[in-house]
Amino acid sequence: MSPLFDLEKKSVLIIGHRGAMGHGPENTRAAFEAGLRCGAGAVECDVHLSKDGRLVVIHDDRVDRTTNGRGAVAGKTWVELRLLDAGAWFGKEFVGERVWRLEDLLGWAKRRRTRFKKPLQLIIEIKAKPRSPARIADRVVAVLRSAGMVRRAIVISFNHAEAARAKALCPRLRTGLLFSQTPRDLPRRMARTHADAVFPRFALVTPEFMQAARHQGWYVGTWTVNEIPDMKRLVGLRVNAIASNFPERLVRLVCA
């Protein structure tokens, strides 16, 4: 079993959310490096498809909020996207940070080790609307295979069809279902999609939820946990993974 899914581990996997977006412009090299410095065992990113089919590491479906550009990611080619400044909005010291492709992130992560000398893990969120014809999962699987990074990644999505497609294309790839409200048919969805993990919003993680998840054998990750009391509660519930904008807070808590 992948170390990312070792259910017997005593410690929680600490995930730097969008790198470590509390310390740098989200989904950029600066944020990913900040996540690593903060002690995260994994970094999370988001991917959209560009106009010419490139996997772009960006959260929103538009570039307006996190770059100096305007317009939809899907309406721009990679040549256009790579010229945008993705750091100036966060602070003048980040001027010149660029948008990355998933290939760029994988190339960077492949050589990185955590503070415990373990390979850095990746959490890749597929951004795709329901019934989207884009088939982002196909490109994500192809890029992971090409980079030799399948076993160091977990692919998650609110679009459960995309998560299911990624699993079908690559059965050894770990996948997870994101949700902000617990689906009534969650066990059936997990069985239908062959997902390995559930990633609910942290407020949904209760003792009852964890008991049910352990009974099912699910790996439980959650997001975006930034306050110490919430971190303590979730660590106490033995959640398997926690994503935070400030991963160093979790590091101090679990390593104290």
* Residues identified as active-site: 17, 59
Using CB atoms within 10 Å of the CB of residue 93, give its burial: 0 to 12 exposed, 13 to 18 middle, 19+ buried. Answer: exposed
- The Cα–Cα gap between 236 and 104 comes to 36
Task: Using alpha carbons only, give the angle 53, 55, 59 rounded to the nearest 5 degrees.
Answer: 125
Maximum separation of any 2 CA atoms in the chain, in Å = 49
CA-wise closest residue to 37 among 112, 88, 92, 106: 112
Structure-derived torsion over alpha carbons of residues 41, 19, 172, 150, reported in degrees to the nearest 10:
-100
Q: Could you give the CA distance from residue 129 to residue 142 in angstroms, rounded to a whole number?
A: 20
How many other C-beta atoms lie within 10 A of the C-beta of residue 255? Answer: 11
Other C-beta atoms lying within 10 Å of the C-beta of residue 92: 7
What are residue 219's DSSP bridge partners?
Answer: 197
Which residues 6+ apart lie within 8 Å of 105 measured at CB?
Answer: 32, 45, 57, 122
Distance in angstroms between the alpha carbons of the first and the last residue of the chain: 28
